[in-house]
A and B are shown apart, each in its own frame.
Chain A
Amino acid sequence: MAVGGDQARAQRHRLLPALHGLSDRIGWISPGALNYVCERLRVPPADAYGVASFYALFSTTPRAPQILHVCDDIACRLAGAEELCAQLEQKLGPPHEPLPQQQSACWTRSPCLGMCDRAPAALFIAADPGGSPRGEPLGEVDRPRLEQALLSEDRPPAQPARATVAGTQRTLLRRIGKIDPESIGDYRKAGGFTALRRAIEIGPAGIIHEVDVAKLTGRGGAAFPTARKWEAVAREPARPHYLICNADESEPGTFKDRVIMEEDPFAVIEAMTIAAIAGGCERGYLYVRGEYPLASSRLQKAIDEARAAGMLGDGICGSPLRFDIEMRRGAGAYICGEETALFNSIEGLRGEPRNKPPFPVRKGLFGKPTIVNNVETLANVIEIVAKGGEAFASVGTPGSTGTKLFCLCGHIARPGLYEVPLGTMLAELLALAGGVRGGKRLQAVLLGGAAGSFLTPAEIGVPLSFEGARAIGATLGSGVVMVLDETADLGGILVRIAAFFRDESCGQCVPCRVGTVRQEELLHRLRRGRPLGSATQERDLLAQIGQVMRDASICGLGQTASSAIESALSKFEVFNRA
């Protein structure tokens, strides 16, 4: 029978959680299990397979129930991840295959796991027939440690390490490391929920006014004015309105949102609630990347506790307002951080971005007006509502107000999460983190992540503000500051960035689906010194590939897939040195 229509659509949004349910229990999505889910949710099996096979954390072929994801992305590559993976391959066999030593386990490579401050990093996931899988992040790993994680049976789970946080100002990070993240009482004692009370007092217009005065802009990469987004949704007559907290953080080199979520989860809940009041949203989704087991378990506990304490649900905080939050786990797809792909992911469709217009503020999740904000953007709102927009705007530069979190990683003496006022000089920030590790010379800084750009040592005087970055053709992106010392293999990093975009393209549009492949092939030719025709011809071709991806791709992934690579090739002698 044909399965379609309203009834089926009503169930469809349960597909991704259901697929997680299968993967959590047996480690893969078997045909029988998939069919069962399809019958229950009335989703066509071909469609469900299309969704399951979209995500890197799911396997649609038999896979061992215990899997070790070893990060081989840029920051970990600088810390020797390639060599580590080569050793693993030698000792444990090829990726995805059951280990010769233990059939119930396997290993695989992974893109950035958001632990770049503790590179090289890995994530161990053990499925559990009871439905409570174990997810264990492992930092600063070496081969013996990984083998132990995979092979020894009764090993106590590693204690989650706390991130190094520092900077010249502690606003967003003021509670980090100082309170028990699982205690709502601690959060209250540290001033938690006072902003929410004030928000209820001043109402939607009052909140939007403060955020507008604060000149808060989005921290998810696009620097869009937050108040404008909220105002637009608040104005829309269609109901319901949705609020989404974008916690998919997958930009290589980025780990800022993870630290907030792990160490200050109630702040995320409080901030989401304030945003929801502003936009008239009754329902919120918190979309956390699947590789963040600690963040998602702490957030789920926080949601449950907040609800029990009357801070979520009907009549929040003693008011007549209603708002509740549902957490959704991603499943290994960078593209699902793109807001419209995120909608599709929540709706149980493939995480393919939508064409814009229509924009999310008009037609977002389930076709309704929707606010999407990054975790860090939202976290700022607490301070803005508590202390007023003007106080917030007095920090930073006139064009870039407030503080910003920067993720320092790579060859830096003290990697970690740094909070500084926007406009701080990059050189100052590097000094704050102890400078290049081991007193080596600086080769380059990757600013903004894989979708950002490389800076030369001559450019580290740049003020880290949105306009300052723009002035040198760069972007703050997600706040990545990855340091490469003089010994770093920049060409290898470029090749890894190209592979990342090829892997993470959703595949929908031709410029990106094929362009990312051609870009990667071309870089390999340059790296191996085997150009097709002359090296100049290759450079021209690369520029054209970049242009069509930038001009004709549907979404930001394709549009920025060449930016870091092009910046490096234009500023450094990358492939001509050896």
Chain B
Amino acid sequence: MPDVTIEIDGKAVSVPEGATILAACRAAGIDTPTLCYLENLTPVNVCRVCVVELEGSRTLVPSCSRQAESGMKVKTDSARVRTSRTMVLEFLASSVDVSLADDLQRQMRRYGAQPGRYGPPAPPPKADQRDASVAGHHDPPSGDAAHTVAQPVKRDNELYVRDYTKCILCYKCVEACGSDAQNTFAIAVAGRGFDARISTEHAVPLPDSACVYCGNCIGVCPTGALMFVTEHDRRAQGTWDPSRQNKGETICPYCGVGCNLEVSTQDGEIVKVMSPLESGVTNGHLCIKGRFGWQFVGKRR
């Protein structure tokens, strides 16, 4: 394929035709924040943290999904870009619990984001209130506190929990559950506006939904909103300690496909199973056996 050459921050960068501006930025070694982008998923370009200034464009453009076209002139560190990126990070951090979103935190430090300037977080609403919100209606705010997405943790099965107080609505789990990987469509975005949320049909518990517990949504979630029960409980007890964890690579023993597994152990116990994004076999996706089968290893012992 022929290359296209674009100018980024004054320097010429060449990438293969069809590549995105993001790919060009990365090729040039420019640290570009992304939240909703993932190599193995179709770009949804919704978070807008990756925006860059493109000469001739009225608005900023999302680098993760805009294809590089020869002759483009791009700025990644102009005042406009910095303002938008900073505000996107602040908007998220002022409305969502991002304490476990390491990369987002790193970018917040980089851009000097101050989520506190929208006021103190509003007290969490009543349980189930978010799931019951009605499209096109909301109670007028006082303005004294910043509205958040806080809601109780959903713990309705033995394998993983959904803590949507930590959800930045990046759509990755929906894509992983849908046509990008699992083809199960157990979850989707429901509601609209600030009340939009990841949900099963009529917000039924997971066991009543189409979920097959492949855990692919956990694998792609960037904020820890979706979490193995093992990790969730250890964190709650204060016994989750990445510094004492070992990661080992292995091949899943359950069937003949041969999925690559990345197994984390702590204190001699398996606490988490992922699959590398780069794996040609899995693209990061697994099934219930590879992802959760080890729980039986523990139980049998």
* B45 → A minimal CB distance (Å): 5
State whether the Cβ of B189 lies closer than 8 Å to any Cβ in chain A.
yes
| Contacts known (A4-B179, A517-B147); A511 close to B88, Cβ less than 8 A | yes
| Contacts known (A60-B202, A544-B83); A525 close to B187, Cβ less than 8 A | no
Bound Cα distance A571, B132 (Å) = 40
State whether the Cβ of B95 lies closer than 8 Å to any Cβ in chain A.
yes
| Contacts known (A525-B143, A559-B59); A499 close to B138, Cβ less than 8 A | yes
B144-A530 in contact (CB<8A): yes
| Contacts known (A510-B91, A511-B88, A514-B94); A547 close to B83, Cβ less than 8 A | yes
Bound Cα distance A60, B27 (Å) = 47
Contacts of B94 in A (CB 8 A): 514, 518
Contacts of B88 in A (CB 8 A): 510-511, 548, 552
Q: Which residue of A lies closest to B119 (CB)?
A: A532
* B135 → A minimal CB distance (Å): 5
State whether the Cβ of A48 lies closer than 8 Å to any Cβ in chain B.
yes
A518-B118 in contact (CB<8A): yes
Bound Cα distance A541, B118 (Å) = 9
Contacts of A510 in B (CB 8 A): 46-49, 88, 91-92, 168-169
| Contacts known (A4-B179, A514-B92); A502 close to B48, Cβ less than 8 A | no
* B56 → A minimal CB distance (Å): 13
Contact of B201 among A31, A350, A521, A550 (CB under 8 A): A31
Q: Which of A495, A499, A532 has the most CB of B within 10 A?
A: A532
A551-B196 in contact (CB<8A): no
Contacts of B95 in A (CB 8 A): 514, 517
Bound Cα distance A545, B118 (Å) = 11
Contacts of B92 in A (CB 8 A): 510, 514
A479-493 vs B, CB cutoff 8 Å, 1 = contact: the mask equals: 000000000000000
Contacts of B142 in A (CB 8 A): 524, 528
A516-B194 in contact (CB<8A): yes
* B146 → A minimal CB distance (Å): 7
Contacts of B193 in A (CB 8 A): 502-507, 513, 516
A25-54 vs B, CB cutoff 8 Å, 1 = contact: the mask equals: 000000100110010000011111110011
B140-A111 in contact (CB<8A): no
Contacts of B134 in A (CB 8 A): 56, 59, 96
Residues of B within 8 A of A (CB-CB), count: 61
| Contacts known (A2-B184, A34-B201); A503 close to B138, Cβ less than 8 A | yes
Contact of A521 among B44, B87, B119, B135 (CB under 8 A): B119
B136-A56 in contact (CB<8A): yes
Bound Cα distance A449, B204 (Å) = 40
* A360 → B minimal CB distance (Å): 17
* B169 → A minimal CB distance (Å): 7
Q: Which of B91, B178, B186 has the most CB of A within 10 A?
A: B91
A46-B200 in contact (CB<8A): yes
State whether the Cβ of A194 lies closer than 8 Å to any Cβ in chain B.
no
Q: Which residue of B lies closest to A559 (CB)?
A: B59
Bound Cα distance A499, B136 (Å) = 9
* B202 → A minimal CB distance (Å): 5
Contacts of B144 in A (CB 8 A): 525, 530
A524-B141 in contact (CB<8A): yes
B188-A47 in contact (CB<8A): yes
* A7 → B minimal CB distance (Å): 13
Contacts of B91 in A (CB 8 A): 510-511, 513-515, 518, 548
* B190 → A minimal CB distance (Å): 4
Contacts of B194 in A (CB 8 A): 502, 505, 507, 513-514, 516-517
Interface of B, secondary structure class, is loop
Contacts of A554 in B (CB 8 A): 45-46, 48
Contacts of B183 in A (CB 8 A): 2, 4
B78-89 vs A, CB cutoff 8 Å, 1 = contact: the mask equals: 001001100110
| Contacts known (A510-B46, A532-B119); A551 close to B179, Cβ less than 8 A | no
B136-A111 in contact (CB<8A): yes
Q: Which of B197-214 contact A (CB under 8 A)?
A: 199-202, 204, 209-210
Q: Which residue of B lies closest to A555 (CB)?
A: B59
The tally of CB-CB contacts under 8 A between chains A and B is 209
Q: Which of B16-68 contact A (CB under 8 A)?
A: 44-49, 51, 59-60, 62, 65
Bound Cα distance A514, B188 (Å) = 20
Q: Which of B60, B94, B201 has the most CB of A within 10 A?
A: B201
* B199 → A minimal CB distance (Å): 7
* A529 → B minimal CB distance (Å): 11
B143-A507 in contact (CB<8A): no
State whether the Cβ of A95 lies closer than 8 Å to any Cβ in chain B.
yes
| Contacts known (A502-B138, A525-B143, A548-B88); A509 close to B46, Cβ less than 8 A | yes
Q: Which residue of A lies closest to B135 (CB)?
A: A56
A61-B47 in contact (CB<8A): no
Q: Which residue of A lies closest to B45 (CB)?
A: A355
Q: Which of A58, A355, A509, A517 has the most CB of B within 10 A?
A: A517
Bound Cα distance A544, B84 (Å) = 9
| Contacts known (A46-B201, A511-B48, A545-B87); A350 close to B189, Cβ less than 8 A | yes
| Contacts known (A44-B210, A333-B192, A508-B46); A548 close to B87, Cβ less than 8 A | yes
Q: Which residue of A lies closest to B35 (CB)?
A: A510
A104-131 vs B, CB cutoff 8 Å, 1 = contact: the mask equals: 0000110100000000000000000000
* A516 → B minimal CB distance (Å): 7
Contacts of B65 in A (CB 8 A): 355
Q: Which residue of B lies closest to A49 (CB)?
A: B201
A507-B191 in contact (CB<8A): yes
A544-B59 in contact (CB<8A): no
Contacts of B48 in A (CB 8 A): 509-511, 552-554
Contacts of B299 in A (CB 8 A): none
B185-A551 in contact (CB<8A): no
Bound Cα distance A181, B168 (Å) = 50
Contacts of A95 in B (CB 8 A): 137
State whether the Cβ of A280 lies closer than 8 Å to any Cβ in chain B.
no
State whether the Cβ of B117 lies closer than 8 Å to any Cβ in chain A.
yes
* B140 → A minimal CB distance (Å): 7
B110-133 vs A, CB cutoff 8 Å, 1 = contact: the mask equals: 000000011100000000000010
A507-B87 in contact (CB<8A): no
B202-A523 in contact (CB<8A): no
Bound Cα distance A46, B190 (Å) = 8
B143-A522 in contact (CB<8A): yes
B195-A46 in contact (CB<8A): no
Residues of A within 8 A of B (CB): 2-4, 31, 34-35, 38, 44-50, 53-56, 58-61, 95-96, 108-109, 111, 332-333, 335, 350, 355, 495, 499, 502-511, 513-518, 520-525, 528, 530, 532, 541, 544-545, 547-548, 550-554, 559
Q: List 6 A-B contacts (CB under 8 A).
A: A4-B178, A46-B187, A503-B135, A505-B192, A515-B87, A548-B83
Residues of B within 8 A of A (CB): 44-49, 51, 59-60, 62, 65, 80, 83-84, 87-88, 91-92, 94-95, 117-119, 132, 134-138, 140-144, 146-147, 168-169, 178-179, 183-196, 199-202, 204, 209-210
3 smallest A-B Cβ distances: which pairs?
A: A56-B136, A507-B196, A44-B185
